[in-house]
Amino acid sequence: MLPKSKLLAISLLAAVGVAGFAAGAATMSRAEPRRSDNSYSGRLTEQLGLTQAQHDSIRTIMDKHRAEMQSIIAPVKERLDSNRAQAREEIKALLTSEQRARYEELIARDRARWDSAASRGAKTGTH
C-alpha cells in the first residue's frame, strides 16, 4: 500500500486531471468546430484533424459523462481552490514587484478566460 502522503498526492493529481477534463467538456460549444475553439473537442478537432461527425460524437460523449465528472470534482473543488490560492501566494512571495504585477495579470487573464468559457457553456446549456 502506498504511504498516505503519496496516495493523497495521486488523488489530488487525479482530481486536477478530472477537473481539467470536465472544464474542457463544460466549455464545449455547439457551433461548428473552429480553429480558435479552445474547448476540449475543438482542441481535439484541430490537433487530430477530426471530421464534423467525430467532433459531434466527442461532444455527445462529453455531455453523457459531464454530470458524473462534476459530481466527482464537487467534493474536492473547495479544497483545490484553497490549495491553488495558497500556492499562488507562495509564488508571489518569491517574485519581484514587477514580476508579481505581471503574474497577477496572467492570473487575471486566465480567470477571465475561464469565466468566459464558463459563461459560454451556461448559455449553450453545456455547463
Tell me what percent of the residues of the chain surpass a pLDDT of 90. Answer: 42
- Please, which residues have CB within 8 angstroms of residue 54's CB and are 6 or more apart in sequence? 45
The per-residue pLDDT for range 53-93, each reduced to its tens digit, is: 999 999 899 999 999 999 998 989 999 999 999 999 999 99
* N-to-C CA span, the chain: 37
Domain residue limits at 92 = 4-124
Residue 119 clears pLDDT 70, i.e. is over it: no
Q: How far apart are CA 88 and CA 72, in angstroms?
A: 24
- Please, which residues have CB within 8 angstroms of residue 55's CB and are 6 or more apart in sequence? 33, 41, 42, 44, 45
Region 36-55 average pLDDT:
85
**pTM, entire model:** 0.46
